[in-house]
Structure 1
């Protein structure tokens, strides 16, 4: 029994061991077999309030398109303000967190970058940074984002800051250090700058920056590891700028990664008769002078540059290498000072670099510790990993901004083929993209197809509806016909001969319609929502009636062809009096109606040429005449707002249209004017129905007692036997054929009884300061009454 139990235990042990071995064996296979997911965020900020930059938006469009071809699901935007930038970074972190453990994230930020007290900041377009202390408030700290991205369980992340530029911020007191500060990437992360820490890139006119151009070129080379892509980018940037810009990267990215694969029919590599391992391990002194410089630049380490100076101290490139070493040594010294973050550390920095670029950062931290701003005679000096700078290096560090576009440093010759192949002919000069007209949308450059032996990456989950990824070689099939144009299923179509393959692809996609939309990079969710709100904000954009002016050119029109800004919005002038706009068929916004207006009123034809009233704040109601200190309209002119009441007209006679009758009793009294005869079924004029309320529901006070209401008068019969009082005939304003001509006006006698209106509306509450004369609605015509005086055979009127 004991032997049988022992055998069972042995078999059970072996069974458990086999199960565990199977789990261990299958887990790597499952991980290897799971498709890799690629996501990317690309931002190009160019339209800064302090001054626009020519290339970042185009650079972001180029990098986004290149990443789309490499199978990335790309979202991106341009010209983001602080809120938009924060929301975009938050959206991408949420997307990366939901993408799963097999995701590689790529982030590219182009624009202005700043360093402040040991951290890098990316600047939104609306930033207002007058002092160094404004940086944490107005800009986005990149370290917070990179640490949050590294904390997500995925295959790795790549963060590129194309933002080391000479900036216009905080130039007065206590200036900022130039360029970007040296940082350490987190686990399984690569961080890259367009210019080495502490240096800035020279200004470029475009259409693309040298760094974005070089990075896009190297991403498109099949079979390169991630480290080789950025090492060759550094060599190409130096070549394109003649040594004026040296890019930088630091990597802890441990997983194998290639942007594209290299096919079996690929030509032999043009670089190097050595392999990379031989080049990287060969001593600098074993290269000739020309190759030695590029060997040190390829390694981009402080030790490699110092080895070059030790081997070739009198070479033409020696001064440039000293400047590179000076910037790198100071960046390392400041990084270790910031990590220590003690008064002794800042005193140690100030003793090494009394006029260095981080002097003011050190003093701000010393103020925080309430310590002396200058090193005391005796203190504990911290030990740095790099020795103090020799005297020849100090001259470079004392410069306000360090960049290598200086004749004193000498210009670097083109890199030898042993390190870098010549650029592909179709990627030397890139055509500028069409400017984007939609809010936040990145420009879409003309896509240059990759060579036929460059293959899409294997074992990835390609994003849906990606025209660029599906046409990296411009090979399209399964043509269909849309609007008499042959279009393939991916949105491409034949183009005219003489165009490049990239131009054919883009032109065909534009013809396809859906392809044109797919060529653009999708906006982040928060930015897309903000763009829609700005385009369709009902408080600023409404549909205006026919005869209203078109929207100003600065108002976005995408997505709603019928929406126009109200007249006078956004600082635009009001339309000229008497001119009607050409937009017809628009829906008229509802006007605020007077309590006394009839529901089926028509607009007074005599007011067609009147100047429109100023717009209200709500985009619908118009300000009343005389509001906000504006003069009241001239007599006889009615406001053009249908359904609103009319204020008291001014005395007639000044406008040349209606003259005051002779015999008026005083300057404060105006003779009554006749009302036009109304057809039995005609709609009455709503403009004359009562006093016009203001925005608070109160009636407008008369400007002066000389302004009197025009009371409706009964039509007078034409009596050829009566003597006619000499008076100027009233002039017709904008006569309309459908309305009857008003009867001639006759003078009324002072003692004649005034006609009583049939219906008197309820009076509106009047201000205590003055009483306003109410205008009754026009009464229906009555048979004329005979005169009781003044006619032949009757006593004279007194």
Structure 2
């Protein structure tokens, strides 16, 4: 029994050691997918940074192990199809998936809902908003219903929109929302406020968010808290981001390796600082502590402790905007006439005053409340008189010179470490050359101690993820990354070069963010051009003599004239040899995909004859490259690939055979001898039958159709034959009056009597 008990104890110990390992081995890997949209080319006026911002965020998410799809400059229809494609992808990805969505462009709020505008949006009336834009909550609720590991929704869209310029304006910025379970929502500017105009190449919010995502070991809430502090510091308080989270799952974009440098402020000290009362800080650190917490109570505690500090006016504006946004959110959720009367009593000229009046009109209720009604209970007290001046307008800027806000102090290390030196100033990305494709910025390697997050499923063919510590340069021809394996020694030099080119091309394609399926289909049927930066027409200038059109020596059949007909076929009379210029070679400069260099043809290396000669260029026109073919080589100019025109086909048929023909001696002797047929008059031209529609037109105008004058061919008119017409036998011939000098045919001697 003792031996049995000992064996049983050994089995239990081994089982306790193996089961956790087995459970860890069978734990599913976390999948990461992302959708990134950057709309810049709006019809109402382009924005300088959203497309670049989307490219920067997409590249950063690729480095963090996300399978990213994205596009730029989508219209409303393309946005709807893109959202549907991504929902299908998120559904197929399964429950162990973290979803990240980033939308940059114009956002606006209407009656408590946030909308994202496509580049084709045209909204002149407030009622156009739900028709011309996409409601964001429809998308977020569909993602939350998938029950995945979590969803991160970022709206970099709080800008002064150019829509609805009427006497009933929309409220500025974005509406405050309550996220769904396991969802984080982030705005580039606080609810009810807008960000100042950006000058580029990147917006302050996208730049700061990309920086904080790249920090190893930083939690999700800390990423957005530090982003808020960095944006406030970069814009001197003019832009203040906001986020709300119900994210339950612990999440790290990047992990931290054991060789990470020691933190200047430990996690224990940071926790103590966040729990410290605002009044226990000095005025400078109290403001930064309130900004780090970003709660209404934290800002009110600052005003209570330092009401006369230079930062008090800015904090009072933050409190006014947050209080009004919360009041409107609760009013919209109640959605009753009593609720809208309650809002108008607090804010008679507030940002959402017209929204409240429109909802009262919807309920067919009076704008003026009755003498007594039930005022709803809000979670925030009514605003004091010192706050009304900040919200008594549709749009609030935190850098409004009317209020003369004091710039906030730079955050100390205790709240925010300084940025990495190589991430302070980012070079602008190259202009994208393909339709809808996001710009690809130069990748900045992450720190050596930063590691990819553990237990994630890395996406396939992700060059950025596989080289987070290396420099990846994309100039359409060269990629610098880890050395590739040596080619097989059995291959020829040409095969080795071709294999290296294929590898480089595949890596370059992997650097670009994949387009959503519906956008890929749309791009395939549209011309490959850049809608953001269209090519400027070439300035008028002299045309090279080799391709200058010869107007004074145009051939018959050109310029719309008809060819002369001989025996019913077009022919030329003494045609002169036509000097057809060889097609011009179009080459591309590496790194400048939009630039086309036109080179003259090399002597002695003319191209084979094409079906039709290249059409001469008009004065002042420049040759335009038609893109690349499927093989990746430069395509010939459009004039060479174009089908021959009717005039070119006529010239091709009428041109003499360039090869000499061998005539037998007997046939040559026969041709040299005169023949009776050669002495006869030339045959009259064959009269071809008129088309039925042409005959009908000639009959309507009651005149024969006029022959078209033919160039370079004399028309020989044949004399008409005199045909004697006799009446049928048995009928009396009509009397023909005799003219003087004519021989009489009747009434004479031996002649019949003339008929009377």
TM (norm. structure 1) is: 0.66
Q: Secondary structure at the match of 2:57?
A: helix
Give 2:358's aligned residue.
364
**Structure-2 residue corresponding to 1:111:** 105
Q: Equivalent residue of 1:345, what SS?
A: helix
Could you say which residue in structure 1 is the equivalent of 2:719?
749
Question: Deviations for 1:426-461, whole angstroms, at most 9, x for unmatched residues?
Answer: 001100001111110000011101011111111110
Residue 588 (structure 1) aligned to one of 632, 643, 648: 643
User: What SS class does the counterpart of residue 526 from structure 2 fall into?
Assistant: helix
Is 1:327 aligned to residue 321 of structure 2?
yes
Q: Is the 8 A contact 1:220 1:450 kept in 2?
A: yes
Partner of 2:729: none
1:225 and 2:219 matched: yes
Distance 1:464 1:354 in 2: 56
- 1:235-274 alignment runs, 5 A limit: 235-271=229-265
Partner residue, 2:614: 547
Aligned pairs for 1:169-184 (under 5 A) are 169-184=163-178
CA contact (8 A) 2:219 2:250 kept: yes
Determine the C-alpha separation between the residues in 2 that align with 1:56 and 1:38: 23
Residues 506-521 of structure 1 mapped to structure 2, 5 A cutoff:
512-521=504-513
Looking at structure 1, the residues matched to 273 and 122 of structure 2 have their Cα atoms a distance apart, in angstroms, of 47
- Displacement of 1:709: 2.6
Kindly state the Cα deviation for residue 405 of structure 1 after the two structures are TM-superposed: 1.0
For residues 62-106 of structure 1, give each alpha carbon's deviation from its aligned partner in whole angstroms, at most 9, with x where no partner exists. 000000000000000000011100011111111111111111000
SS in 2 for 1:330: helix
Helix, strand or coil for the counterpart of 2:168?
Answer: coil
Partner of 2:9: none
Deviations 1:138-159 (A, max 9, x none): 1000001000000102110100
Maintained 8 Å contact 2:194/2:395: yes
The residue correspondences of 1:46-125 to structure 2 (distance < 5 A) are 46-125=40-119
Distance of aligned partners of 1:57 and 1:708 in 2 relative to their CA distance in 1, 3 Å threshold: same
Q: What secondary structure, in the 3-state scheme, does the structure 1 residue paired with 2:100 have?
A: strand
Give secondary structure in 1 for the equivalent of 2:262.
coil
Deviations along 1:587-619, one digit per CA (max 9) or x if unpaired, are 527979xxxxxx99955679xxxxxxxxxxxxx
Q: 522, 547, 551: which is aligned to 2:514?
A: 522
The alpha-carbon deviation at position 277 of structure 1 amounts to 1.3
Q: Distance in 2 between matches of 1:211 and 1:463?
A: 26
Aligned to 1:465: 461
- Report the Cα offset of residue 171 of structure 1: 1.4
Aligned to 1:636: none
Contact 1:165 1:202 in 2 (8 A): yes
Cross-structure match for 2:438: 442
> Aligned-pair distance for 1:381?
0.6
Q: Which residue is equivalent to 2:451?
A: 455
In the other structure, the counterpart of 1:158 is 152
**TM-score, normalised by the number of residues in structure 2:** 0.70
Cα deviation code 1:438-491 (max 9, x no counterpart) = 110000011101011111111110001101001100189xxxxxx999975679
Distance in 2 separating the partners of 1:326 and 1:89 = 35
Report the 3-state secondary structure (helix = DSSP H, G, I; strand = E; otherwise coil) of the residue aligned with 2:371: coil
Q: Which residue of 2 aligns with 1:644?
A: none
- Greater relative contact order: 1 or 2 (C-alpha under 8 angstroms, separation 6 or more)? 2
- In 2, Cα distance between equivalents of 1:31 and 1:328: 47
Structure 1 CA distance for aligned equivalents of residues 45 and 150 of structure 2: 35
1:129 alignment partner in structure 2 = 123
> Is 1:532 aligned to 2:524, yes or no?
yes
- Measured in 1, the distance between the counterparts of 2:189 and 2:485 equals 38
Which has more helix, going by share of residues? 2
Q: How many matched pairs?
A: 580
Q: 3-state SS of the aligned residue for 1:50? A: coil
Paired position in structure 1 for 2:406? 410
Q: Distance in 2 between matches of 1:372 and 1:336?
A: 21
Give me the whole-angstrom Cα distance separating, in 1, the residues matched to 2:224 and 2:510: 29
- Residues 563 and 425 from structure 1, CA distance in 2 versus in 1: closer, same or farther, beyond 3 angstroms? closer
Q: Deviations over 1:727-771 (max 9, x none)?
A: xxx973xxxxxxxxx6x6555435578xxxxxxxxxxxxxxxxxx
**CA RMSD across the alignment:** 4.0
Q: Does 1:40 align with 2:34?
A: yes
SS of match in other structure, 1:409: coil
Distance 1:459-1:293 versus aligned 2 partners, 3 A rule: same
Native 8 Å contact 2:528 2:627 kept in 1: no
Please state how far the C-alpha of 1:409 moved relative to its aligned partner: 1.7
**Structure-2 change in CA distance of 1:148 and 1:301 (3 Å):** same
Answering whether residue 707 of structure 2 is matched by residue 709 of structure 1, we say yes
Q: How far, CA to CA, are the matches of 2:42 and 2:256 in structure 1?
A: 41
Q: Is it true that 1:291 corresponds to 2:289 in the alignment?
A: no
